[in-house]
Each structure stands twice: as structure tokens, then as C-alpha cells.
Amino acid sequence: MRNYVDNAVEQFRTILEEQIARQRKMETQNEYTDYKKLDKIIIGVCGGDGIGPIISAESVRVLEFILKDEIKAGKVEIRTIEGLTIENRIAHNKAIPDDVLAEIKACNVILKAPTTTLKGGTLESANVAMRRELDLYANVRPVVVAEDNIDWTFFRENTEGEYVLGSRGVEIPDTLAFDFKVTTNEGTKRIARAAFEYAKNNGKTNVAIVTKANIMKKTDGKFSEICHEVAKDYPGIEAEDWYIDIMTANLVNPRIRSKFQVILLPNLYGDIITDEAAQLQGGVGTAGSANLGDVYSMFEAIHGSAPRMMEEGRGMYANPTSMLKASEMMLRHIGFAEYADKLNKALQICTEEEVKYKVTGHSDGVTCSEFGDYVMETIEKL
């Protein structure tokens, strides 16, 4: 037993030193990408697993259609990045194999389909690894349900919390197991700034800071404290504390939910509660997500790879809406607001207003490709 304890203590020392070094690195970070100054924007597309290649292929088809003039002029390049599959990751025993990561870093922005994460074991999530390797610290997820007066934008810290060391916990066989949660000063400051800057620039007057600081006193307590310090630089915006459990209830409470505007959370809480919010919008298949850093950015669907659909032979009926929403967010981020507006309007028409063709995930609905055709036909009419 003593050997297990000694090994755990040494492992924790290593983890502490690494996280202190990560904090120091964040303090000195001064690089950023200005897409307006790039001669050519390179969009890397990772097909992922399960339904991922199907829905990402549809996104590429729509992007090539809407960006045809920019591609022809050499201002945009769309690259397919192979190898971010569960089979290749297992074969290399790496969340992102080195050659795949090099291809990703050769691009300016990434459009990523769902990837499979194994239960148990030590193979890290590809999402977690990509967020760390590209320092994608802000996960931004908008949820809009106009008829219920819901217009939420979630800012989830993306590189810390329980996820940063999720595959490096300590286990003493037949006795106990520990996982780790990390909250750094600089990591919290930058996600808080991102949320309050968004609020300021978009006419929002309220930021809800969501933690469980009454229980997780060190980590969540620090997160709340630093967010309120940042809030002092934004006097026109109200910052209020909410605990994650009551906020989860409030999102389904018609009497209060419409008051929320920008919601700022640590990593794990943000992961869970944004799926709840997406369900109110129509399901996780309707929601896209932005993962923003200073140098790189990655846009993705928020749902998984749907292995059951593939096992049942229904992959062709997968709904590409989430990837198309992610594509719309990406277009806006890299400076193509006009194209983003067109895609957003087309999706609104195709999923809410006209709905001539509906994706159901089964043969009673249209295929992924047929829905893509419908979106492009709609764009052409705008």
C-alpha cells in the first residue's frame, strides 16, 4: 500500500509542476490570428467517427457551394484531414496522432465532426486533446428558442476543470480512485474576459456565473472570485452567481429562464448544461459549437458519433444541421459574415419556416445529402 501512496504523491508532484508551467505560459501568451490579414484562410475538416464523415461531407459540400468565389480566387482552401478516427488513434495509442496534429496545426481553423471517446482506459478524448494542443479555451454555444423568448450564449471554460487531467487520475486497486480538477488564475481570467467582452459588444446586460462554489470551495470558489474581479471592468453589465444545480432547474423554468443572456461556467458544468439547453432548442443535433483560442479555432457539432445509427444502417439519414450550424459560426468567425447570414437564414427556413424536407434519422425522412441539397437550393434563392 505504501508504494501506491508514494507513486501517487510523485504523480501529483508532476501534475502540479506541469499545471504551474501551463499557468506561466498563459501569462506570457501574446500571439493571435487576424483572419483579415491572411492571404488565404485554410479550413481543415476532420471527419471523425460514426456519422461524422457523413455529416462533415455535407458541410464541405455546402461550404464549397457558398464559398465558391473565394475558393476560385485562392482566398480560401478546404483541406480534408484524415486520421482522426478511433481506429487510428487506438493504433497509435494517442488521442491525436502526431502526423494528424501537424496537419491540423497547418490550418487556420478546423471544422470537426464527432469523434468516439472510449469508456475507461487511458486513451484521452480527441476533443480534450485538441482543445489543449490548440489552446482553445472558450467553448461558445448559442441557444435560441424565439417563441419562448430564449436567447442564451454559453461561455464554457474549455481547457481546465475536470477535463484537463481526465486520463491521469490515481487508483489504488480495490481501495479508491482520485481524479483531479484544475482552476488557474489566468485560465479563468481569459474565459471571463471573453464572456464579458461578448456581452459588451452584443448589447447584453447580464452575465450569470455558474459554479458549485459552496462545495468546491477552492476551484469553483476561485472561478467565481476571479469572474467577479473581471466584471468590475464592465460596469454596465450585471454579474450574478448561480449554483449549477439550481441553474439546471432554471433553464426549464418558464418563469425565469428568459432573463438569462450570457452564461459563464467551468468546463464540466458547461458540458452538461449546454446539452440540456440544446434539447430545449430541438435536440443536440440542432446545435453547433465554437472552440476559440487566440491562434487557432475549431468548430464542431456538440453531439456524439451515434454508433447505434451506424450499426442499424441508418447513417445516411443522419441530421447534418449541427455541422451546418458549426459551419455558420465558423464563417462568421473568419470574417465572412455575409455568407454566414445566408447559411443561417437558409437553415432557419429549412428547419422552422418551410420544412419541405425533414430529417428524422430514419427512412421516413430525407437523407443527409437530400437535406444538404435543400439547404443549397434555399441559399440560391436568397
* Average confidence (pLDDT) over 128-147: 91
Buried b (16+ CB within 10 A) or exposed e, 229-265: ebbeebeebebeebbbeebbebbeeeeebeebbbbbb
**Res. 285 pLDDT band, cuts 50 70 90:** low
pLDDT single digits (tens) 179-214: 999 999 999 999 999 999 999 999 999 999 999 999
Q: What residues does 182 pair with on adjacent strands?
A: 161
pLDDT single digits (tens) 341-371: 999 999 999 988 888 888 999 999 999 999 9
DSSP string, 106-140: TSSEEEE------SSSSPPPHHHHHHHHTT--EEE
DSSP string, 79-101: EEE---SHHHHHHHTSSS-HHHH
Q: Does residue 166 register a pLDDT over 70?
A: yes
- In SS3 terms, 287-350 reads as CEEEEECCCCEEEEECCCCCHHHHHCCCHHHCCCHHHHHHHHHHHHHCCCHHHHHHHHHHHHHH
pLDDT single digits (tens) 45-80: 999 999 999 999 999 999 999 999 999 999 999 999
Q: State how far the Cα of 286 lies from the Cα of 301, in Å rounded to an integer.
A: 8
What is the pLDDT at residue 172?
87
Domain boundaries of the chain, sorted by first residue: 32-136+293-382, 141-282
Q: What percent of the chain has pLDDT over 90?
A: 81
* Average confidence (pLDDT) over 295-316: 93
Q: Does residue 4 register a pLDDT over 90?
A: no
Largest CA distance in the chain: 72
Which is it for strands 138-145 and 109-112: parallel, antiparallel or unpaired? unpaired
Would you tell me which CATH number, out of the four given (3.90.950.20, 3.40.50.410, 3.40.50.720, 3.40.718.10), belongs to the domain 32-136+293-382? 3.40.718.10
Closest listed residue to residue 371, CA positions, set 312, 304, 324: 324
* Average confidence (pLDDT) over 143-166: 91
- Count Cβ atoms within 10 A of the Cβ of residue 218 and give its class: 0-12 exposed, 13-18 middle, 19 or more buried: exposed
Return the minimum-mean-pLDDT range out of 1-5, 161-165, 300-304.
1-5
On the question of a common fold for 32-136+293-382 and 141-282, the answer reads: yes
Is 297:110 a contact under the CB 8 Å cutoff? yes
Tell me the pTM.
0.86
Q: Does residue 284 register a pLDDT over 80?
A: no
The CATH class of 141-282 is: alpha beta
Q: Does residue 322 register a pLDDT over 80?
A: yes
Is 273:298 a contact under the CB 8 Å cutoff? no
Q: State how far the Cα of 248 lies from the Cα of 242, in Å rounded to an integer.
A: 10
Which is it for strands 170-172 and 262-265: parallel, antiparallel or unpaired? unpaired
**Res. 165 pLDDT band, cuts 50 70 90:** confident
Q: How far is CA 131 from CA 46, 58, 181, 183, 364, in A?
A: 14, 24, 16, 16, 37
- Tell me the three state secondary structure of residue 351: helix
